Amino acid sequence: MAKTLEMIFVNVAGDKVTLRVADPRDDMTEAEVKTVMDTVVAKDIFTSSGGALTGVAGARIVTRDVTEMNIL
């Protein structure tokens, strides 16, 4: 199963911007994610088409299960 951490921010235009990190640590805590997200906003690390990231909107871990089909 593939896991992805999605960190969702708000930009200057009021739009949501999602940063995705593949294969996050299994023992990662919510506090660690919040700290990273706050740092990204405070240090103006990323920008988007709608401008700088101005706040944190949420975070989630998405788990994807892919089953290949042998059709050939």
Dig out the tokens for 50 from the structure.
């709608």
| Position 43 confidence tier, pLDDT thresholds 50, 70, 90 | very high
This prediction's pTM? 0.88
Dihedral angle over CA of 14, 53, 63, 24, nearest 10: -170
Q: What is the average pLDDT value for the chain, to the nearest integer? A: 97
Instruction: Work out the percent of the chain whose per-residue pLDDT is above 70.
Output: 100
| Residue 64 and residue 2 in contact, taking contact as beta carbons nearer than 8 Å | yes
pLDDT at 21: 98
pLDDT at 1: 82
Task: List the 51-64 sheet strands across, edge first.
Answer: 16-22, 2-11, 51-64, 47-48
Query: Region 25-45: what's the mean pLDDT?
Result: 97
Per DSSP, 26 falls in state T
